[in-house]
Structure 1
């Protein structure tokens, strides 16, 4: 902050002769001067011209100097202006009263020119130093707050990254352990099917030539109910094949989600990332005694493969979908059974390609919506509406950083209170 070369002094006195003398002294010393002849005009003039200092006569008609000073100090626009009283009063009580009202000094009439200039100059320097100090303190406080916020954000990001990396490793390990025995079972079911078909054919052929079979063999065939087995066994094997195929799909999705621990930018299918994230959250989508089922509506468009950080992107999907589930669970807990049945909880996921250069993922829920004042802060670090212990307030902030900084994309929120919320992710196909 630079000190003014020609500070503005407002001189307030009802005696024109005094005004002329003081104005001349100040002008000769290089100050700019404004004048007022009573307290009311002084307040208006100070509000408009914003002087750097006010020389205020105590004894004036209408409102006196004390009342004028009180009003100046009570108004936000003028409260910071230093006031020096000009008075012929020498009573200590009057001086104390003036200081209590906010005055910074006194000049006793008749004043000495050198004393007047010295007191004015001193108070202007003090004001300049005070303003400079306030500015430096404010600037330093802002810098410290920013630094603290960055440190806290880095700490939370580190914890979050480690947690997601551990989750990725756990999922990858589980998928690996399940994959081997499931592949063994699934692969051998084909052979079992062939063996079963051959055995059933043999049994059928044997029955056709069983007229002379021993009585014990005929009784055993009757007890086994071979006809039922012949019809039911192929169905059982087909069901087992469907089940093992489903497990193989789950393992593949788990492996896809375990990309969380991959740091490289790779070309991936965005839909696989969304589906694998939904699989991880499947237990929260199912109906429970406390909450109805949450329906997932997939409206997938034709997307090109996208060059991105797959693990980080899955983390964004996880944060947005988990928040949507939280909102729907909170709303369903407030509604009656009939309301939940007539208005089922839904999350809609729409994907589209934009000009072959961008892909867009819109995740919409039909919850209670987000108030406007919260929407404005939803991506701020450490901002959360959840109870203590339920959230760090970093999920959406980290998601915004992943999309905007890591992928050069956009993450926006649009919500109408009572009608749900929509988060829209846009990222370039070729990466950054």
Structure 2
């Protein structure tokens, strides 16, 4: 015998109710009864029925209307309905099936037929519910597996990207250091040597004021006085440039920290500054626009433990996107118009509620609502083919949310620019 089920019998004839109730009860089913359609619909709202035997001809609303209302109920529309009718015309049978019934039984009843049909449809109903549950579970599992796969792929891409970029930048910084060290070490000697030479020349000129004519001509052609004035300036310029290259090299090393396996103590302001320095060439003035201004509103913040290399990649993505947005907003504007309302990126840092808050805001044309809802999705990009991968902000979100247990959000209004806000717990 199949598992017990709760069956609702709806019929306005007491004799039919008695016969059906006894037959089903003897077969091991629980039974409830209703004398009309309104009563049946009310019971369905509070009961947990497995099947309904529904008479067609009843006072008030008939069986067809009762079935229609039942099928319109999103909670109970999956309960199988078997019509009971004395109508033998095909039109009524077709109508019953069209409005949602699974079967019909013709009066007068045959007890074995009733039981056979009830058991069959209960089995089918339970199999359907079981299948739906398995489909739901499988869909959930597949969805989770897909999300895990996307996360793993994104992490792999990010790790490979950071590894390649880190190795490249670290290698460049290392290669720069050797010649810069040579220049830096020798320029000071060159400065001292030049001072010694000019001192000897001055002493010689004082000791021998009357020089041979050909030597006097050579000195005039050489413009010794100009050389004496300009050479120290040239040496000083080389010293400043050397110091600038050292700063760039240090920034490259800061940006390319190899820390993918463990967090390290990091000065966030140094990380942001190193990223800005790497993007310096994109900020400079061009023939089409003035220089993009960087406004730093740095607060007093402590060093934090973080995956510094990956966090630098987040800063790189956000700042590069801000520059792209500003470039796009300049389309159709003249140099003078842009200069009147200069392109700028504002970077703000502070501490609030034991969290580090970093804001990167541009004054571009902003982001529309439909784009904001998808902006952190993997492979979503608004850029032309070949100019964007759709991975930058997805990676940024993964680094902030999964690696640092923080949040990253975007706020934007049309023509009001865009602001990305990162929060990272200090502990």
The aligned runs of 1:262-273 (5 Å cut-off) are 263-273=261-271
CA deviation vs aligned residue, 1:124-180 (integer Å, no higher than 9, x gap)? 332222112111111111101211221232123212211221111111111111211
Match of residue 54 from structure 2: 56
Displacement of 1:84 after TM fit?
Answer: 0.9
CA deviation vs aligned residue, 1:320-378 (integer Å, no higher than 9, x gap)? 223333333333336565553333222222223458x6543222223344455655554
Q: Distance in 1 between matches of 2:142 and 2:298?
A: 46
Q: Distance in 1 between matches of 2:287 and 2:257?
A: 34
The alignment partner of 1:351 has SS state of strand
The aligned runs of 1:13-412 (5 Å cut-off) are 13=11, 15=13, 18=16, 22=20, 30-33=29-32, 35=34, 37-38=36-37, 51-60=49-58, 65-66=63-64, 68-70=66-68, 72-73=70-71, 76-260=74-258, 263-288=261-286, 293-333=291-331, 339-353=337-351, 358-371=355-368, 375=372, 378-386=375-383, 390-407=387-404, 409-412=405-408
Residues 1:149 and 1:384: Cα distance change in structure 2 (over 3 Å):
farther
CA deviation vs aligned residue, 1:29-62 (integer Å, no higher than 9, x gap)? 5435252625x77667656767543323334567
CA deviation vs aligned residue, 1:268-296 (integer Å, no higher than 9, x gap)? 32222212222222233334456654321
CA deviation vs aligned residue, 1:380-423 (integer Å, no higher than 9, x gap)? 5455555565545443343333334433x412314142333333
Unaligned runs of 5+ in 2: none
The alignment partner of 2:347 has SS state of strand
Q: Distance in 1 between matches of 2:385 and 2:140?
A: 26
Displacement of 1:104 after TM fit?
Answer: 0.8
Q: Distance in 1 between matches of 2:337 and 2:301?
A: 37
Q: Distance in 2 between matches of 1:36 and 1:328?
A: 73
Q: Distance in 1 between matches of 2:267 and 2:306?
A: 10
Residues 1:353 and 1:106: Cα distance change in structure 2 (over 3 Å):
closer
CA deviation vs aligned residue, 1:218-242 (integer Å, no higher than 9, x gap)? 2222222222222222212211111
Displacement of 1:181 after TM fit?
Answer: 1.0
Residues 1:141 and 1:243: Cα distance change in structure 2 (over 3 Å):
same
CA deviation vs aligned residue, 1:286-324 (integer Å, no higher than 9, x gap)? 344566543211222333333322212212222222333
Match of residue 421 from structure 1: 418
Residues 1:317 and 1:132: Cα distance change in structure 2 (over 3 Å):
same
Could you tell me whether the CA contact under 8 Å between 1:292 and 1:332 is conserved in 2? no
Q: What value does the CA root-mean-square deviation take over the aligned residues?
A: 3.4
Q: Distance in 1 between matches of 2:169 and 2:313?
A: 14
Worse-matched range after superposition: 24-33 or 101-110: 24-33
The alignment partner of 1:33 has SS state of strand
The alignment partner of 2:331 has SS state of helix
Could you tell me whether the CA contact under 8 Å between 2:259 and 2:308 is conserved in 1? no
Residues 1:47 and 1:380: Cα distance change in structure 2 (over 3 Å):
farther
The alignment partner of 1:259 has SS state of coil
The alignment partner of 2:420 has SS state of strand
The alignment partner of 2:256 has SS state of helix
Worse-matched range after superposition: 370-379 or 172-181: 370-379
CA deviation vs aligned residue, 1:236-277 (integer Å, no higher than 9, x gap)? 221111111111111111122221465343223222221222
Unaligned runs of 5+ in 1: none
Residues 1:61 and 1:218: Cα distance change in structure 2 (over 3 Å):
same
Could you tell me whether the CA contact under 8 Å between 1:153 and 1:381 is conserved in 2? no
Residues 1:85 and 1:238: Cα distance change in structure 2 (over 3 Å):
same
Worse-matched range after superposition: 420-429 or 214-223: 420-429
The alignment partner of 1:86 has SS state of strand
